[in-house]
Amino acid sequence: MSQTRLHNPRVSRQCSNCTCSPGLLSRSNRKSALFAKKINLQRFNSGSNIHSGDSSRKGSVFTLNPSLCLPETKEINTSKRLKSLRKKMNEYDLGIYIVPSEDQHQSEYVSPIDQKREFISGFSGSAGVAIITRELNNIQDDSGTAALSTDGRYFTQAINELDFNWILLKQGAKDEPTWEEWTINQAVQLSLDSGKTVNIGVDPKVLSFTLYQEFQNIIEKSKTTHPKAKMELKPITENLIDSIWEKFETLPPSSLGEIKKLDISFTGKTIKEKLGEVGEKIYEKDSNVEGLVVTSLDQIAWLLNLRGSDIEFNPVFYSFMILSKNKNILFIGDNRLSDSIVKELEDNGISIENYSNFYSHLSTISKQFSSNDKKFLISDNTNWEVVRNLNCQYDKKLSPIELLKSEKNAVELEGAKLAHLKDGKALIKFFAWLEEELINKQELIDEVKADDKLTEFRKQEDNFVGLSFDTISASGGNGAIIHYKPTKTACSVINPTKIYLNDSGSQFLEGTTDTTRTVHLDKPTKEEIKNYTLVLKGNIALATLKFPEGTTGNSIDSIARQFLWSYGLDYGHGTGHGVGAYLNVHEGPMGISPRPNSAINPLKIGNLLSNEPGYYEEGKYGIRIENVMFVKPSNYTYNGKQFLEFETITKVPFCKKLINVNLLTDLEIEWINNYHKSIWNDFSHTFDKNSFTYKWLKRETDPLHK
């Protein structure tokens, strides 16, 4: 078991993948004098004393501008935070405290006030679990170990962000324990060392009931393996991070935003129709089912044809719902809905209660069914606190709303196509602008400035609401960090002699977009061209696949990996995820991935999915090509079984400089040429024929030939 302590690499760290040293500015076949004129070399201190909290920097290094290449100035020394947390753990007699990433709705992305794991660990990635231990025999009650578990998308980021107090548990890596196993091992040792029962605490509102059950089973098994060790999993309803937060930082401001009605011209169905469909799914097979508890924010937004802005990039709002045969109740904050929205909800049989009353109301409602066979349905991502307040039987299964939401209707699919047309136009303008600035004008553009310019182009499109996630604007080795996020204080200047990767998306009223393109503006290496072409072949293979109904994403994931595999290469993330209809950019329950959860739910007509194979060379470059596509019927049947296929709706050219046509089949070349022809036909008339954008689009969509 690897428990290497990670010293903070952000201290005294120079950026290795940007053009901040004068030597890197000397581009082949170009004069560096033009760049030298633009450079205002400034000496600045590098390094910090993280133990004292002193932010002064010692030593010096040349850079273009401190705002371009400095590490983020907010370097968190977690020593005092952990000490304060362990004192709170002592008050509750806890030996271990678990801090998940999720909020009480099990949201993938959470608002600032719910970023408790980031507060205690300093790690800002969207996925991970923090585990903090406390030495039970220590009189001071402030010593112990801390671990952060996250997956392969975030290993590099976690290494950069965690300080010396933390151990990184690489989820899924060979011979690495899961966070549950690591936690149990710590509990066993603490118990054996102290002779005491080790209480493992967690806020039951932010831990899913499914995860609670799995963790509880591991604890019970460990009691058999280690009979002398004693441990218990305890719900701690006071969130201990909240109790110490204001000692170190001002609490983040409220993120509650306006809630708006989404017109039927975008949704395709009324609230009444959706409630009817959900009701049929809830009650059709079991007369003992009394209702459904809904905690997922995107499910509620979809069901009620409403959109909010409580969580950045996700048009959702904080709420719960209880759907039952007798009454449907929406739990939401006071004065959050307009009178017209309230009236429409009430006209559809939905009453409104205060958000804070949800758990007590659930307890009261369910109590009346405790003496009979009636039961509620809860979804598999419901939090533990919901079950702790249920006073009747329950069935845990996939929410019928999740299934219905994933099968986009005709209006939603047309909206998705239009959204990707708008986004495609913005991306075409962006990549043309980037080439003109970097190559023709030899300007210095950093990753954040590029992101800002892309957003500017997107804002020019009608019904643009905002971005669908933080843009990954990555030059050189930054592209190998799968969820890289440049900031003004920690980014690179885009080096045109290196690969540039841009993964970004928009929220339009018509739909949600997610597109990744990898480009090279100068002379790529043979290796870069080969690997890009292998990734592209995988993208095309999946896009053109025909498959029988009932097929899961797990069984077709290797279709996109096969060409990389033939060279002994691979990538450490899934190939595709569901995409919402002006909702969350990541949507279940289907996906295309080797992970077991992608083997549960078959792909259905109307599913909107990403297609994003990739390849990454740490410290050098990242390649990812992502299109969005939807499932539709094909013209084939076999033994009465319908075959399905995908239709790609993303409208952005591939990078021709990175394509080796000799590695492509005639059919692959034909597919690319047809794809590029459709892009040319869609956009060429929208640009001035004398503009660089028009010329760029013409060049990038001209047919490929062997």
pLDDT in tens, 557-616: 999 999 999 999 999 899 999 999 999 999 999 999 999 989 999 999 999 999 999 999
> Which pLDDT belongs to residue 138?
73
pLDDT digits (tens, 9 = 90+) for 432-462: 999 999 999 999 999 999 999 999 999 999 9
pLDDT at 140: 66
> Do 450 and 586 reside in the same domain of the chain?
yes
Q: How do residues 370-418 score in pLDDT, each as one tens digit?
A: 778 889 999 989 999 999 999 999 999 999 999 999 999 999 999 999 9
pLDDT of 131 over the 50 cut: yes
**Residue 496 in this model has a pLDDT that exceeds 90:** yes
Please state, in angstroms and rounded to a whole number, the distance separating the CA atoms of residues 201 and 99: 9
Of 553, 517, 519, 534, whose CA–CA distance to 626 is shortest? 517
Same-domain check for residues 373 and 330? yes
28 and 94, same domain (yes or no):
no
Q: Which amino acid is at 361?
A: H
Between CA 524 and CA 73 the distance in angstroms is 34
For 161, how many CA atoms within 13 A lie in the half-sphere containing its CB? 22
What is the predicted pLDDT for the residue at 147?
Answer: 97
Residue 174 has pLDDT above 90, yes or no: no
User: Residue 645, Cα to own-chain centre: how many angstroms?
Assistant: 26
User: Is it the case that residue 10 has pLDDT exceeding 90?
Assistant: no
In a domain, 286, yes or no: yes
User: What span, in angstroms and rounded, lies between the C-alpha atoms of 425 and 53?
Assistant: 47
Comparing 143-152, 410-419, 480-489, the range with the smallest average pLDDT is 480-489
pLDDT bracket for residue 60 (50, 70, 90): very low
Question: What tokens does 170 get?
Answer: 């690489």
The residue from 398, 431, 447 where one domain ends is 398
CA distance 589 to 381: 11
**How many Å is the Cα radius of gyration of the chain?**
27
End-to-end distance of the chain based on CA atoms, in angstroms?
51
Give pLDDT, residue 157: 84
Q: Tell whether 618 is covered by a domain.
A: yes
In terms of pLDDT, which residue wins out, 12 or 612? 612
The type of residue at 1 is M
CB neighbours of 452 closer than 8 A, spacing ≥ 6? none
Global pTM value = 0.88
Say if residue 521's pLDDT is above 80.
Answer: yes
* 585 belongs to a structural domain: yes
Residue at 135 is within a domain = yes
Residues 6+ apart with CB under 8 A from 522: 27, 28, 439, 496, 497
pLDDT for residue 531 is more than 70? yes
Residue 72: pLDDT above 80?
no
pLDDT at 18 over 60: no
Q: What is the spatial distance between Cα 324 and Cα 368, in angstroms, rounded to a whole number?
A: 13
Q: Compute the average pLDDT of residues 233-241.
A: 97
Mean pLDDT over residues 93-106, rounded?
97
Percent of the chain with pLDDT over 70: 89
163 within some domain: yes
Verify that 533 and 610 share a domain, yes or no. yes
Burial of 685 (0-12, 13-18, 19+ CB in 10 A): exposed
Q: What is the pLDDT of residue 139?
A: 65
Q: Is 185 exposed, middle or buried (0-12, 13-18, 19+ CB in 10 A)?
A: middle
β-sheet bridge partners, residue 294: 321
DSSP label of 209: H
* pLDDT higher than threshold 50 for residue 105: yes
Q: Note the pLDDT of residue 141.
A: 64
User: Of 398, 422, 455, which residue is a domain's last?
Assistant: 398
Provide the pLDDT confidence category of residue 41 given band limits of 50, 70 and 90. very low
Give the C-alpha separation, 555 to 560, whole Å.
Answer: 11
The answer to whether the CB of 333 falls within 8 A of the CB of 372 is no
Q: Residue 74 domain-assigned? A: no
Q: Which residue has the tokens 């405290």?
A: 97
What percentage of the chain carries pLDDT values higher than 90? 80
Whether residue 48 contacts residue 112, with contact meaning beta carbons closer than 8 Å, is answered with no
**pLDDT averaged over every residue in the chain:** 89
Q: With respect to residue 253, please indicate whether it lies within any of the assigned structural domains.
A: no
Q: Is the domain of 220 the same as that of 265? A: no
33, β-bridge pairs: none
Strand bridging mode 197-202 / 96-99: parallel
Closest CA to 633 of 610, 667, 607: 607
Q: Are 43 and 167 in a shared domain?
A: no
Report residue 27's pLDDT band, with 50, 70 and 90 as the boundaries. Answer: very low
CATH of the domain at 159: 3.40.350.10
Backbone φ and ψ of 630, nearest 5° = -125, 160
Average pLDDT over residues 226-246: 96
Mean pLDDT of 617-627: 97
- Is residue 307 within 8 Å of 315, Cβ to Cβ? yes
Domain identity same for 375 and 448: no
Using the predicted structure, report yes or no on whether residue 17 has a pLDDT greater than 70.
Answer: no
Cβ(234)–Cβ(200) below 8 Å:
yes
Domain that holds residue 57: 1-69
Query: Is a pLDDT exceeding 90 seen at residue 464?
Result: yes
Which of residues 342 and 46 earns the better pLDDT score?
Answer: 342
Using alpha carbons, select from 404, 161, 137 the residue that is nearest to residue 269. Answer: 404
Q: Which secondary structure element, helix H or strand E, spans residue 701, and what is its range?
A: helix 692-701
CA neighbor of 385 nearest in space, from 212, 171, 133: 212
Question: Do 230 and 277 have their domain in common?
Answer: no
Q: Same structural domain for residues 510 and 640? A: yes
Shared domain for 514 and 654, answered yes or no, is yes
- The pLDDT of residue 52: 34
Say whether both 649 and 617 belong to one domain.
yes
CA 202 to chain centre: 23
Instruction: Domain count for the chain, please give it.
Output: 4
Helix/strand/coil for 146: strand
pLDDT tens sequence across 253-289: 888 999 999 999 999 999 999 999 999 999 887 888 9
- Domain termination site, one of 398, 433, 459: 398
Residue at 161 is within a domain: yes
The b-or-e profile of 340-368 (16+ CB within 10 A means b, else e) is: ebeebbeeeebebeebeebbebbeebbee
Q: What is the mean pLDDT of residues 69-83?
A: 69
- Kindly state whether residues 301 and 204 are assigned to the same domain: no
DSSP state of 557: H
Taking only the tens place, the pLDDT of each residue in 300-324 is 999 999 999 999 999 999 999 999 9
The per-residue pLDDT for 32 is: 38
Whether omega for the bond prior to residue 486 falls within 30 degrees of 0, making it cis, is no
- The 8-class DSSP code of residue 688 comes to -
What local confidence, expressed as pLDDT, does residue 93 receive?
Answer: 95
What pLDDT was estimated at residue 132?
Answer: 97
